Amino acid sequence: MIKLGINIDHVATLRNARGEMHPDPYLAAKLVNKYGADSITIHLREDRRHIRDADVVKICKDKKLTVNLEMAANFKMLNIALRNKPEFVCLVPEKRKEVTTEGGLNLIKNKSKLMKIIHILNKEKIRTSLFIDPTINNIKISKELNSNCIELHTGKLAGLVKQKKIFINELNKIKKCAKYAFKTGLEVHAGHGMDYKTAKILNSIKEIKEFNIGHFIVGESFFYGIKTVIKKFKKILNN
Ligand code: PXP
């Protein structure tokens, strides 16, 4: 079974737009779990633009949920993860002014810090993942860093598909990296910018075991309802 992680950050974006309590990301987490999400992704950004500390506490406390906490690779965030004990942590780069996570981690620049953070998370039995651009060098370093998983950034591919541009080179890059990573023993995930079309395209890469999808699912659910949207993704991914 290919796993579907659902990112509910944008439920929090909507809530924050009014500065009130509705819609509640915790209720969204419970709902996507009920309708078949294999994990719930929440990205606690340093600027707290969507998910907030109180959401992390509430969502991680519910042990019926499998939580994937996305966070910047620093010790302040690490302490939050250690306090809340999500099942998974995905380390991502963060730039204050970006609209979303625009690229993968710079593993070379952050190597020693990442090594320390991964070591601590591994010791706590929290599954670790590194969000990276699809290059063989990134996979080699991820392996050296002892991460359990890598998540390949699919944003570029998704952009090309949406603009109806040629995407075969980018797809081949992702395929090559997924196969290489799988061979080295890393669990391979993928995500960013995905919709039904990119899910169908990427599903041809059998080494990818988990997809993390957020914005499209939240938006599409407005039209068709979350239950229908999750069902459709699960059908595509397990075809
Ligand atoms: N995976 C990672 C590591 C991300 O940072 C994000 C965006 O927060 C996603 C997946 C989901 O991307 P999208 O919301 O575009 O589906």
Distance 151 CA to ligand 1 centre (A): 10
Burial category of 159 from C-beta neighbours within 10 Å (exposed 0-12, middle 13-18, buried 19 and up): middle
pLDDT, mean over the chain: 96
Mean pLDDT, to the nearest integer, of 71-95?
96
What is residue 205's predicted lDDT score, i.e. its pLDDT?
A: 97
pLDDT at 101 over 80: no
User: How confident is the model over 79-103, as a mean pLDDT?
Assistant: 89
Atom of ligand 1 nearest to the CA of 7: 11
Catalytic residues: 43, 70, 192
> Which residue has a Cα nearest atom 5 of ligand 1?
101
Of 9, 46, 192, 215, the one to substitute when testing ligand 1's pocket (max ligand atoms within 8 A of C-beta) is 192
Domains in the chain: how many in total? Answer: 1
Name every protein residue with a CB atom under 6 angstroms from any ligand 1 atom. 7, 9, 43, 70, 90, 92, 100-101, 131, 151, 191-194, 212-216
DSSP secondary structure of 33-80: HHTT-SEEEEE--TT-SSS-HHHHHHHHH-TTS-EEEEEESSHHHHHH
pLDDT at 183: 98
Res 16: pLDDT: 97
Centre of ligand 1 to C-alpha 43, Å, is: 9
CATH number reported for the structural domain that contains residue 108 in this entry:
3.20.20.70
Q: Which atom of ligand 1 is nearest to the CA of 194?
A: 16
Give tens-digit pLDDT for 188-211.
Answer: 999 999 999 999 999 999 999 999
Q: What is the pTM of this model?
A: 0.96
Atom of ligand 1 nearest to the CA of 9: 8
- Residue 99: its pLDDT value, please? 74
Report the alpha-carbon distance of residue 4 to residue 48 in Å, rounded: 25
Q: What is the mean pLDDT of residues 19-44?
A: 97
Express each pLDDT in 169-183 by its tens digit: 999 999 999 999 999
The domain containing residue 66 runs over which residues? Answer: 3-238
